Amino acid sequence: MNYILEARDLRKEYPNKLALQGLNLQIEPGEVFCLLGQNGAGKSTTINLFLGFIAPTSGAAFVNGLEVALNPLKIKEHLAYIPENVMLYPHLTGLENLALFSSLAGFKYKEAELLDYLHHAGLPAEAVRRRVGTYSKGMRQKVGIAIAVAKHAKVLLLDEPTSGLDPKASNEFSQLLTQLSAEGTAVLMATHDIFRAKEVGTRVGIMREGELVDVRPTAALNAQELEQLYLTYMHN
């Protein structure tokens, strides 16, 4: 099986902290894998290792079969990263940001095509030609999704993407992820939102102190059972 994301004995040690201890994980195209866990459990570390933002102490992360540490540029062609606060150029409009980021990824689109990507990502038409500096957080997330789709990213790496979004924006975001996953995009998402993880995830993984202590298909649990499972791990 050619996994789109794979971690093999992935370990990250800081001078005074073992942030990730021997993670093994395989994610297939179309999967939405949600990482749950308390502050400091190692969720962002995992995402940053897949992005190549940090180097592993040992073990390896693979994107589409390529080892991240050996192919730092090539793997970026497959990835889109959406952090809690999507970084865009505040003085450019949403449309201009999308044009810029997709051209950096090697895609030149006509304006009508760019507008289409923004529309499908749910950005209101009135916002398209407005400077991003005037956008809400949810609007910036939508431009982030439009960029991911326009660059044909095979994988979305999301770090607490719905944190601070209102319930409607968060729900729209979940729907977009579901739609992308149905089209074959894989998603690895760190979140504190158990309800969203259940709603949008195909599997959830619970992390504790740098270790992935449990992995479940979301279909096997309802939201309450998932919350109970999570709390059980946090209390032990």
What is the rounded CA–CA span in Å between residue 54 and residue 46? Answer: 10
Residues contacting ligand ATP: total by CB under 6 A: 12
Nearer to ligand ATP, 145 or 190 (CB): 190
Tell how strand 203-208 and strand 211-217 pair up. Answer: antiparallel
Q: Is 19 in the site for ligand ATP (CB under 6 A)?
A: yes
Contact positions with ligand ATP (CB under 6 A) in 91-150: none
Nearer to ligand ATP, 43 or 203 (CB): 43
Q: Is 41 in the site for ligand ATP (CB under 6 A)?
A: yes
Q: Is 40 in the site for ligand ATP (CB under 6 A)?
A: yes
Q: Is 37 in the site for ligand ATP (CB under 6 A)?
A: yes
Q: Is 218 in the site for ligand ATP (CB under 6 A)?
A: no
Q: How far is CA 91 from CA 18, 95, 108, 134, 196, in A?
A: 40, 12, 21, 9, 32
Contact residue for ligand ATP among 1, 2, 39, 125 (CB under 6 A):
39
Residue 229: exposed, middle, or buried by beta-carbon count in 10 A (0-12, 13-18, 19+)? middle
User: Whole-number minimum distance, CB 130 to ligand ATP, in Å?
Assistant: 31
User: Whole-number minimum distance, CB 48 to ligand ATP, in Å?
Assistant: 7
Contact residue for ligand ATP among 6, 7, 36, 45 (CB under 6 A):
45
Q: Is 174 in the site for ligand ATP (CB under 6 A)?
A: no
CB atoms within 10 A of CB 52: 20
What is the rounded CA–CA span in Å between residue 170 and residue 194? Answer: 13
Q: Is 162 in the site for ligand ATP (CB under 6 A)?
A: no
DSSP one-letter string for 133-177:
GG--HHHHHHHHHHHHHHTT-SEEEEESTTTT--HHHHHHHHHHH
Q: How far is CA 150 from CA 65, 107, 153, 157, in A?
A: 22, 8, 8, 16
User: Whole-number minimum distance, CB 19 to ligand ATP, in Å?
Assistant: 3
Q: Using CB under 6 A as the criterion, which residues of the chain lie in contact with ligand ATP when the complex forms?
A: 14, 17, 19, 37, 39-45, 190
